[in-house]
Homo-oligomer: A and B are copies of this chain.
Amino acid sequence: MLDLRRLEILARFAARGTITATAADLGYSPSAVSQQLATLEREAGIALIERTARRASLTDAGRELAGHAARILDAVESAESRMRARAGTVGGRVAVSCIPALAPALAPRLAELQRVHPELTVVAHETGSANAAAAVLDRRYDLAVIDDWSAHPPADGTGLAVHRLRREDIVLAVPAGHPLAGHPGPATAARLRQIVADRTWLCAPVGQLSRAAGDRHLASVDATPSRRWEFEGLHVLAALVAADAGVAFLPAGMAEEQPGVTGLRTAPRMRRTLLALTRSTTRDDPAVAVCLRAARQALGDGR
């Protein structure tokens, strides 16, 4: 009978592509991974891996078996979650990912969990929203807090459970001294076109969801920034606006909290949604549930 741990190694290898990375992910030595994959090939009775001296890649059979492995591991994880739910024990290791901007708000809540549930180990990382879904499905994280800048955030899908934490309005952040700050009407298309012509436009680097959403909005009102500066991190953008370095789109809460910044409602309205992602196989796991609840308390809008 095929061995579950070997199947897990194969699935991880399919996701990562090299034996060394697979070993690092799983906490084994590359040697162990190499041996286990060799054993799995013997058990399966067919070549799963194409070996060159420097590179190992999956054969067709290997790819197919990795697919089966993913489904099998899902079923096992699901069964484990159900048992933990029955036992009602909060324990084990939960890997959490959070976008950097929200980490300061989330971390204390998670730290508190460790106090309430001594058996629980939370491992938290900061990562962007872009690949979070894949990372959760890949079991690199069990819970990921991300933001979604599109009008219609994703819903539960293949293996992924999506939990809406909060909706936030996006505002045009201008320095408190700016003429528009005195007339706090909405940032209409005309106003936007004018301001991007006058002032430096501050935004996230290409590839970030907030950048794409902001660019879409500007394009929709036919506003083309005359000068762009790119910075990583919404808090950095907020500080730059306060320092009169330019203007930017920011979440309303963040603009309010930043002294020296005034936020103007956008028209048409622009929003982002804070989401938490889990695997549907861990839906029943109490450990994941308490982490999700902590995220709701730290970041949710109370619903």
Give A contacts to B, CB under 8 Å.
1-5, 8, 44-46, 60-61, 64-65, 68-69, 71-72, 75-76, 78-80, 82-84, 86-87, 89, 91
Contact = CB atoms under 8 A, between A and B. Distances in A.
Copies of this chain assembled into the complex: 2
16 contacts: A1-B8, A1-B76, A1-B80, A45-B83, A45-B87, A45-B91, A46-B83, A46-B86, A61-B83, A61-B86, A64-B82, A64-B86, A68-B79, A69-B79, A72-B72, A72-B79
A68 B82 CA distance: 10
Given A45-B87, A65-B82, 5 more contacts: A1-B80, A2-B80, A45-B91, A46-B84, A65-B83
Nearest to A47: B87
Given A4-B4, A8-B1, A68 B78 contact: yes
A82 to B, nearest CB: 6
A219 B173 CA distance: 90
A278 to B, nearest CB: 18
A69 B4 CA distance: 13
A60 B82 CA distance: 12
Contacts of A82: 64-65, 68
A45 B4 CA distance: 19
A201 to B, nearest CB: 50
A83 B68 CA distance: 10
Contacts of A84: 45-46
Contacts of A44: 80, 83, 87
